[in-house]
Amino acid sequence: MRTIRAKEWARDAAALPFSLGYALYLAFGYTLFHPTTLFSAADGNVGEQMEFCFLIAIVFARIATYVATAAFAALRKSARLAVSMTAACVSGSVGFLVVCMLLEFAGFAPGGVLTPWMMLAGAFFGFGDAMANLLWARFSSTLSLRSAYLFVLLSNLASLAAYLLLVLFPPAFVVPATAALFVCSTVFAKPCIEQRPEQAAEYSSPVFKSAISSLWHPVLGTAILSFLSALMLQMPAQREMPLATFQTTSLVTQPVVIVALLVPALLIKRQPELGSVYKVALPLSAAGFLLLPLIWNDAGGLANACAQLGTLVANIILWCMLSDVVRDTKLPVPLVFSLALLIVNASRLAGTLVAHANADTLARGDIALTMVALVAVYLVAMISLFLVKERKRTPPPADGPAATEPLDMLAIKCNALADRTRFTPREREIVLHLAQGRTVHAISEKLFVSENTVKSHIKSVYLKLDIHSRAELIEIISEEDA
C-alpha cells in the first residue's frame, strides 16, 4: 500500500509544474471581471453602464454553458477534449476581436450602438471562460486532495504575478496580452490532461445523492459569499475607486492570504483539513462588511479587499472539494463541476443585479448601507454556524459476514453476478470485497476512497439486486452459477 501511495504522490508532484496554465487562466479572469483593466485603452470612453452590460453578459453565458454541460453529462454525453479546447479558444478569440473593434469606435460611436456589441463580446467570453474552466476541472480532478490544494494555491499565486505584468503593460497592449493569456492557458490544458491517467466516469443515483449531500454545505456557503462580494463590487464607491487603487489592493492583500494558506500545506505533508481552512474566509468577509459603513473607500479599498479575499478562499476550498469528490466517486467531471459553478455564478449574478438596482440608495453614511453591512455579516455568521460542521469520526465496525468459497471461485461468482446485473466497475470491486467479509472502512482503505462513497456504492448494489443486507448479498453470490 505504501508503494502505491508513494507512486501516486510522485505522479501528483510531477503534475504540479503544469499549474502555469491554470495560472494564466486565473489572470485572464482577474482582467475579465474588472473590465476597467481590459478597457483601459479606451481612455474613459467605455462607461459604467457598458461595463455593467459586459459583466452581465459574461455571467449569463457562463450560467447557460454550465446548464447545457450538466444536461449533456446527465445524459451520459460529453464533448471530446479537442472539441472543448477548440470551442473555448474560438469563442474567446471572437470575444477579443469584438473588444478590439469596440475600442476603435469607442471615441466617437454612441453608447447605444456599442452596448449590444459589448454584450455580444461578453457572451463569447462567458462561453469560452466556462469551457476553459471545465478543462482545468478535468485536470484537477485527477490529482490527490493535497496535490489539488497545492495546485490551486500555486496557480493563484502565479496568476497574481501574471496580472502584475499585465498591469505594467501600456494600455494598448492589454487586450492582446490578455488574449494571449487565455489562448495559451486553454491550449496548455490539453497536454496536461493527456499526461494524467484520467479515470472512466461512472454514474449511480445513490453515489450522486451522496456527493450532493457532502457538497451542498460548501456550495451554499461559497454562493452566499459570491453574492456578497458581487454586491460589494457594484456599490457606487467601489466603482468610483481608481483603477490603480483596486489593482494595488488586490496585488498586495491576495498574495499574503495565499502564502498564509500555502506555507502550512508545504510543511505538513498530509491531507489538508479543508473545513478548517474554509473558516479563514468567514472572518475576512465579515471584516469587509463591518468596515464598509465606517471607512467606505477611504482606506485604499480595504473593505472591498476583505470581502473579495473571503470569496477567494471559499472558491479555492470549493474547487478542491469538487476535485476530491469527483476523484473519489468517479462521477462525471462536467456534471459535478457544472452544477456547483452554476449555483455560484447565479449568486454572483444576483448580487450584481441587486447592487445595480439599488445603487442610488446606497451612499456613505446612509442607514441603508449600514443595514446592508449588518445583514451581510449576519449571513456570514450563519455560514459559520450551520454550514461548516466538523463530523465526528466513528470507529471502524467489525467484519461482516463472508462467503465460504475459495477466493478464485468467489471472484468468478461475483463477476458472473456483476455481468448479469450490469454493475459499474467500482460496484464490481466492492461486491467482491463485501463477499470476502471486509468492512466499509477496510474497503475504503483498500480502494483509496471515502467511506461515504463505499456506502453509496453498496446502496446502489442493493437497489439493483432488490435486497437490504449483506447477508442477502452473500446468499445470492453463493447461489450464483460459476
DSSP calls for 85-138: HHHHHHHHHHHHHHHHHHHHHTTTS-HHHHHHHHHHHHHHHHHHHHHHHHHHHH
Q: How many CB atoms lie within 10 A of CB 470?
A: 17
The grid coordinates of residue 122 equal 461578453
For residues 293-310, give the mean pLDDT. Answer: 56
Q: Where does the pLDDT of residue 376 fall: very low under 50, low under 70, confident under 90, or very high at 90 and above? A: low
pLDDT at residue 59, as a whole number? 94
Mean pLDDT value across the chain: 78
pLDDT at residue 418, as a whole number? 82
Using left for φ > 0, alpha for ψ between -120 and 50, and beta otherwise, residue 232 falls in: alpha
Q: How far is Cα 419 from Cα 428, in angstroms, rounded to an integer? A: 9
Flag whether pLDDT at 14 surpasses 70: no
Q: How far is Cα 34 from Cα 57, in angstroms, rounded to an integer? A: 14
Q: How far is Cα 114 from Cα 226, in angstroms, rounded to an integer? A: 29
Task: Encode pLDDT of 44-87 as tens digits.
Answer: 667 778 888 898 999 999 999 999 999 998 887 777 888 999 99
Q: How many CB atoms lie within 10 A of CB 395?
A: 6
Q: Where does the pLDDT of residue 338 fall: very low under 50, low under 70, confident under 90, or very high at 90 and above? A: very high
The domain 407-479: what is its CATH number?
A: 1.10.10.10
Flag whether pLDDT at 296 surpasses 60: no
Q: Where does the pLDDT of residue 245 fall: very low under 50, low under 70, confident under 90, or very high at 90 and above? A: low
Flag whether pLDDT at 396 surpasses 50: no
Flag whether pLDDT at 285 surpasses 90: no
Task: Encode pLDDT of 343-369 as tens digits.
Answer: 999 999 998 888 777 766 655 555 455
pLDDT at residue 302, as a whole number? 55
DSSP designation for 235: S
Task: Encode pLDDT of 148-187 as tens digits.
Answer: 898 999 999 999 888 888 888 888 888 899 999 999 999 8
pLDDT at residue 124, as a whole number? 96
Cβ–Cβ under 8 Å, residues 12 and 271: no
pTM higher than 0.85: no
The domain 11-387: what is its CATH number?
A: 1.20.1250.20
Q: How many CB atoms lie within 10 A of CB 455?
A: 17
b vs e for 39-75, b when ≥16 Cβ sit within 10 Å of the residue's Cβ? bbbbeebbeeebbbbbbbbbbbbbbebbeebbebbee
Question: So where are the chain's domains?
Answer: 11-387, 407-479
The grid coordinates of residue 335 equal 456534471
